[in-house]
């Protein structure tokens, strides 16, 4: 049974290897980061790491976190995987920048921090947020936000935010 699972896993990784990842514009990381991570597992480590460490397409919207995007729930989910699962493979300078960005993000609960404007999720979106992290509260989005913020606060020693 386990051998069958391992073979199916290898087949899936092989079938997705070498694919075009997509881009990092806004919430697109929910598709592009997993594709790059699977490609890494397939052996295309240099290409995958180059993509995972590339500048966010909207980096100017994330200057407060050193250009690292921690905004939408789906992006947060990918950032957690990138740092904790693939972190030992990241360039040390990029990994340190990411950790410093996490520290900045969690100095104060990012859900309580506000921008002077709302970020629109899509053209006809009505649930736009002005918080430092995704304010949408479906069970899935809330879990992605709260787990990511907790893990980042834990990693950077920001105990007040972690406990909150």
Structure confidence by residue, pLDDT tens digits, 68-98:
999 989 999 999 999 999 999 999 999 999 9
Distance CA 71, CA 43 (A): 30
Whole-prediction pTM: 0.90
Distance CA 27, CA 39 (A): 20
Examine the pLDDT at 143 and tell me if it is beyond 80. yes
CB neighbourhood size of 162 (10 A): 17
* pLDDT value of position 42: 94
| Ranges of each domain in the chain | 2-163
State how far the alpha carbon of 20 is from the alpha carbons of 36, 61, 68, 154, in Å. Answer: 8, 25, 22, 34
């Amino acid at each position: 049974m386990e051998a069958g699972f391992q073979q199916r896993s290898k087949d899936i990784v092989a079938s997705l290897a070498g694919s075009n990842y997509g881009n990092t514009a806004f919430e697109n990381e929910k598709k592009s980061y997993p594709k790059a991570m699977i490609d890494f597992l397939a052996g295309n480590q240099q290409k995958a790491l180059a993509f995972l460490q590339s500048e966010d397409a909207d980096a100017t919207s994330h200057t407060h976190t050193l250009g690292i995007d921690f905004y939408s729930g789906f992006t947060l989910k990918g950032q957690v995987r990138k740092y904790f699962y693939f972190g030992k493979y990241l360039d040390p300078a990029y990994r340190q920048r990411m950790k410093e960005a996490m520290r900045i993000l969690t100095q104060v609960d990012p859900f309580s921090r506000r921008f002077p404007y709302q970020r629109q999720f899509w053209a006809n979106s009505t649930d736009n947020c002005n918080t430092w992290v995704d304010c949408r509260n479906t069970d899935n989005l809330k879990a992605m936000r709260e787990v990511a913020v907790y893990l980042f606060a834990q990693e950077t020693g920001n105990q007040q935010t972690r406990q909150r």
